[in-house]
Structure 1
């Protein structure tokens, strides 16, 4: 049973983007379940909100540096069965409805104990040294590879993936791992900026060799920052 989820919070535009993206996912007829999470879901989760509300409300960037992302993925995985497929998309993304056959192909291709993701820039330029040391990923095979994006990912549901997401979330609960506070240890000279939840996601996933290096999600998913209800690519998408 494939499931697609996204999340939006902070203002009306993000909520409209959630509606747009969930409508696009439904129009593909590829998913048995499509969920658009919002900050209301987090506020109603007493344990999560009591633990993280101060951090979230005092750090508007990413609604708390995206600490909610591994959490909602974790909570969704808890409701899913081994062998299911979970597609997570940031709400700024768009689904190419006319290319849904490619999405179906990716759903069929994702293998046990793996994640289909997409590549971005070089790891050592976009991770604070404290996190690199904490995860023990100082080898060039990690640091000179391209970082995986945390905003567009397809998961094969199994215990190994659940354990990975649980650890991703736990690491994010140590706010220094995801916020922009300076590294205590000296960064690489080429360091540009820490990539928050994505830094943890990418380095941890590589540590456990979870990423499918043969496939990616570009071509069927547009990685925009379209935080509106109006599609840039599909004329018949929701335009609230």
Structure 2
């Protein structure tokens, strides 16, 4: 039975250069010139074959920052043996390489949401995210992507026109997207009416460094006690310092996939399904996500749009980076 072991690169390691040497160990398999070649697959369909147990791959010709590595054995017809269920030995090494089939560098995903009226804005956001923003992939969601059981269970909320259902779709889709990514990957949410004007790499770098894996953005001039519903402040045990602090922007947020960020989003989703908290009836607007950031001790970074370029914001918030988004 053939067995494959990947010796290098180690799982989850970052690859800084454009070239990487992949070292593999093949046991119980005869490697020849025409059959049994090892192959490396990256995130594209490109294939590199070699008859040695060491293969050099040039990453720059694939996609900057991406290197999903998987090793296969090929038969004389160039079929992938570990992906061929009719080949008896496939089970013997399929599991051995499965855990290596992950991003060696964090995958950077942008998600957003829009109803029919925002489709043009979503297209612009997605296009600039890839061409300027430095993200690897985008997911532009709409009402059709919401689970019907979830919307039915929260029909009172989704029947509200404001925020296309009081923005409940936001934590739902972020939660869903986080669980499609690997540990250490990066997810950014941005509103549909934003456009990238420079790379978001500085924000992703912050997310990688932050202990909680969450990057939230503050607004020094907008105080919680003026805008935030009292029930939200009470539910999250908001202190006086919190009440008089600047709000957090709901326009964008960045996550590194880890246990703390997933738990944060889970709590956000739970709070968002409480109609008495999420509605703006009787006592002001809902700002549960923003106050939750403070409850968790998430630092406030400067808003990365033209509105974060004034002296007050620059002097009162973390973040030395250029304007990244243009807001309409």
Task: Please classify the TM superposition score into its range, dividing by the shorter chain length.
Answer: 0.7 to 0.9
Q: Residue 119 of structure 1: CA displacement?
A: 1.9
Uncovered stretches (5+) of structure 1, i.e. residues with no partner: 184-192, 225-240
* Distance in 1 of aligned mates of 2:133 and 2:323: 18
Which one has the largest radius of gyration?
2
Would you say 1:208 and 2:296 are equivalent positions?
yes
TM-score, normalising length: structure 2: 0.58
Matches within 5 A, 1:1-240: 1-9=107-115, 11=116, 13-28=117-132, 30-42=134-146, 45-57=147-159, 59-96=160-197, 99-100=198-199, 103-110=200-207, 111-120=210-219, 121-137=222-238, 139-183=239-283, 193-194=284-285, 196=286, 199-213=287-301, 214-215=318-319, 219-224=323-328
Query: Of the two structures, which has the highest relative contact order with CA contacts closer than 8 Å and spacing of 6 or more?
Result: 1
In the alignment of these two chains, the number of paired residues is 202
Q: Residue 7 of structure 1: CA displacement?
A: 0.3
* Distance in 2 of aligned mates of 1:217 and 1:156: 19
Point out the more displaced range, 212-221 or 155-164. Answer: 212-221
Contact persistence 2:248–2:300 (CA under 8 A): no
Deviations 1:40-92 (A, max 9, x none): 111xx1321221245313x1110011011111100001111221111100101
Contact persistence 2:109–2:135 (CA under 8 A): yes
Point out the more displaced range, 18-27 or 210-219. Answer: 210-219
Deviations 1:169-226 (A, max 9, x none): 111101111111114xxxxxxxxx41x3xx11111111111235422877111233xx
Determine which structure has the larger helix proportion and give its number. 1
- 1:91 partner SS: coil
Point out the more displaced range, 59-68 or 107-116. Answer: 107-116
Contact persistence 1:117–1:216 (CA under 8 A): no
Uncovered stretches (5+) of structure 2, i.e. residues with no partner: 1-106, 302-317
Moved over 6 A (4+): none
* Distance in 2 of aligned mates of 1:126 and 1:153: 20
* Distance in 1 of aligned mates of 2:161 and 2:202: 37
* Distance in 1 of aligned mates of 2:110 and 2:178: 11
* Distance in 1 of aligned mates of 2:181 and 2:232: 30
- 1:131 partner SS: helix
* Distance in 2 of aligned mates of 1:50 and 1:218: 42
